[in-house]
């Protein structure tokens, strides 16, 4: 792993290791805003309060009595790729590896909220973890639109078939298929349906994205932005030769994902995007999971070949040549390019 | 007698502090764990003293900010509770801008992930 911060832990996965359909837990990127308190599992409770008929407090055993559900989907940090924007931005300098695909197992948010009875007045689900920050640091309090949470979000206690690891939010985290990681609250202790969205730094200043592209380097005003929600269509190359011989065929591989349920196609170009050739999509897929792809590439002539990849999702959105610069460096999804030295 | 009383008070205070201190997750690194170091130079001591309270050197080593951006970052951190004496502020900003400016070539350190 590549260490971006020692405490609270932030670490990204080297791109060349992201070759599995399910990213192994020990290689899965970690993003923390602060250090959680150790839960005493026998006393740990998830409280559900707010705009509900009867507030409830649930133990892990209570949650395990609810119907089990499973979803395989991508988790990507909203700031993945921040380091690739120019002008340069402050913040964790994620490049490519703050993303992974895992099988999450737990219970539906819908089933848990039903136990408390959500009132019609509720429109946002407020989320609280146990990572209260020190001094005057704003707490990482967030909310997610209730409609999305009720539709397909889950409360996961397992990741890839094992107990959710501490750094991934044990004992319970939110999984929001297709949406950026800022919604996937870890170390959950409280859910609270409310009429209004959560306030504070991590809602009103951070995690906002421009409604329209602007000039790179010019900060957008608050009213020109809206919250980051769905992921953008994106693909990356994980495997490619560093050196190649003209006329010989090589495998180029990678992954593609989107906030739309599926990837429609992945294309590769080696002439600066003038012509594109379709890559082969791997058979394994599931809504909001990533799609592995492979491409048989034969360099034509000696020189530096620049190979680039772009994905198109099931809603016909095409990955753009350039990403929209924004002052927090969110949702970078420009074409990924790799340079390969070709000899005659 | 007086001495015993002082000792008793100190013990009580310690107990109270221990009770109040949050128990952070033991499998995750705690505040102050030594991760990498900052480059030598004027301002390093002040920067370490002010910034290690909440994050390791890694977070600073990777930045490539202009002096203006560093000034804004340090001011944000002071608002968030970083303790920097007024006299030290320009020293810390100059140190950060000199070492982690736009020309900074940063390569993240390879580590084992936490908990494995």
CATH number at residue A178: 3.90.420.10
Are both A145 and A126 inside the same structural domain?
yes
Taking CA atoms, what residue in B is nearest to A169? B25
Are both A134 and A177 inside the same structural domain?
yes
Are both A23 and A70 inside the same structural domain?
yes
Q: Which domain holds residue A272?
A: 234-343
- From B11's Cα to the closest Cα of chain A, the distance in A is 25
> Hey, which bits of B17-112 come out as E strands?
109-110
Which tokens go with A111?
């089933």
A53, exposed or middle or buried, with CB in 10 Å at 0-12, 13-18, 19+?
A: exposed
Residue A300, number of CB atoms within 10 A of its CB: 11
Residue A268 pairs with which residues in a beta bridge? A277, A309
Q: Which one of B27, B54, B113, B115 makes the best mutation probe of the A interface by having the most chain A beta carbons within 10 Å?
A: B113
Are both A185 and A265 inside the same structural domain?
no
Are both A43 and A66 inside the same structural domain?
yes
Q: Answer for the pair A120, A111: CB distance below 8 angstroms, yes or no.
A: no
CATH of the domain at A309: 2.60.40.650
CA–CA dist B38, B60 (Å, integer): 8
User: What's the pTM value of the predicted model, to 2 decimals?
Assistant: 0.94
- From A196's Cα to the closest Cα of chain B, the distance in A is 26
Helix (H, G, I), strand (E, B) or coil at A280: strand
**Domains of chain B from N-terminus onward:** 2-99 (1.10.760.10)
Which residue of B33, B73, B109 is in closest CB contact with A7?
Answer: B33
Q: Which one of B31, B58, B75 makes the best mutation probe of the A interface by having the most chain A beta carbons within 10 Å?
A: B58
CA–CA dist A61, A64 (Å, integer): 5
Are both A154 and A48 inside the same structural domain?
yes
Q: What is the mean pLDDT of residues B80-93?
A: 98
Q: Write down the ipTM of this complex.
A: 0.94
Are both A253 and A196 inside the same structural domain?
no
CA–CA dist A247, B22 (Å, integer): 63
Are both A215 and A269 inside the same structural domain?
no
pLDDT in tens, chain A (344 residues): 999 999 999 999 999 999 999 999 999 999 999 999 888 899 999 999 999 999 999 999 999 999 999 999 999 999 999 999 999 999 999 999 999 999 999 999 999 999 999 999 999 999 999 999 999 999 999 999 999 999 999 999 999 999 999 999 999 999 999 999 999 999 999 999 999 999 999 999 999 999 999 999 999 998 999 999 999 999 999 999 999 999 999 999 999 999 999 999 999 999 999 999 999 999 999 999 999 999 999 999 999 999 999 999 999 999 999 999 999 999 999 999 999 999 99
Last residue of a domain, one of A210, A227, A244: A227
């Amino acid at each position: 792993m590549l260490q971006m911060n020692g405490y609270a832990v932030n670490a990204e996965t080297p791109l060349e290791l992201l070759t599995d359909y399910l990213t192994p837990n020990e290689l899965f990127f970690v993003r923390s805003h602060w250090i959680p308190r150790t839960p005493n599992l026998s006393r740990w409770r998830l409280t559900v309060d707010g705009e509900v008929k009867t507030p409830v407090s649930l133990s892990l055993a209570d949650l395990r009595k609810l119907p089990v559900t499973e979803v395989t989907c991508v988790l990507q940090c909203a700031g993945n790729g921040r380091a690739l924007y120019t002008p340069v931005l402050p913040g964790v300098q994620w490049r490519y590896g703050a993303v992974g695909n895992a099988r999450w197992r737990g219970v539906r948010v819908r089933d848990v909220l039903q136990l408390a009875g959500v009132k019609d007045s509720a429109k946002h689900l407020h989320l609280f973890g146990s990572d209260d920050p020190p001094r005057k640091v704003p707490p990482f309090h967030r909310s997610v639109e209730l409609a999305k949470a009720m539709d397909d979000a889950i409360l996961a206690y397992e990741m890839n078939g094992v107990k959710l690891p501490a750094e991934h939010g044990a004992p319970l985290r939110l999984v929001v298929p297709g949406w950026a990681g800022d919604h996937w609250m870890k170390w959950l202790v409280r859910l609270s349906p409310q009429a209004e969205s959560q306030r504070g730094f991590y809602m009103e200043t951070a995690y906002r994205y421009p409604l329209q592209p602007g000039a790179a380097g010019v900060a957008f005003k608050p009213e020109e932005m809206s919250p980051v929600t769905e992921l953008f269509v994106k693909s990356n190359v994980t495997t490619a030769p560093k050196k190649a011989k003209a006329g010989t065929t090589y495998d180029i591989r990678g992954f593609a994902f989107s906030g739309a349920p599926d990837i429609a196609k992945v294309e590769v170009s080696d002439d600066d995007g003038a012509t594109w050739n379709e890559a082969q999509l791997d058979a394994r897929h599931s809504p909001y999971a990533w799609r592995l792809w492979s491409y048989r590439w034969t360099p034509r002539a000696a020189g530096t070949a620049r190979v680039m990849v772009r994905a198109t999702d099931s809603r016909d959105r095409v990955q753009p040549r350039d990403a929209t610069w924004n002052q927090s460096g969110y949702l970078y999804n420009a074409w990924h390019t790799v340079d390969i030295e070709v000899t005659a | 007698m007086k001495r015993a009383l002082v000792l008793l008070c100190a013990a009580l205070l310690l107990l109270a502090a221990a009770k109040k201190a949050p128990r952070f997750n033991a499998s995750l690194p705690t505040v102050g764990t030594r991760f990498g170091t900052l480059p030598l130079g004027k301002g390093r001591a002040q920067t370490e003293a002010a910034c290690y309270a909440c994050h390791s050197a890694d977070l600073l080593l990777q930045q490539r900010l202009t002096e203006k951006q560093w000034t804004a970052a340090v001011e944000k951190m002071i608002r968030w509770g970083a303790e920097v004496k007024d006299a030290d502020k320009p020293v810390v900003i100059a140190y950060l801008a000199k070492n982690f400016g736009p020309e900074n070539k940063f390569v993240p350190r390879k580590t084992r992930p936490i908990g494995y």
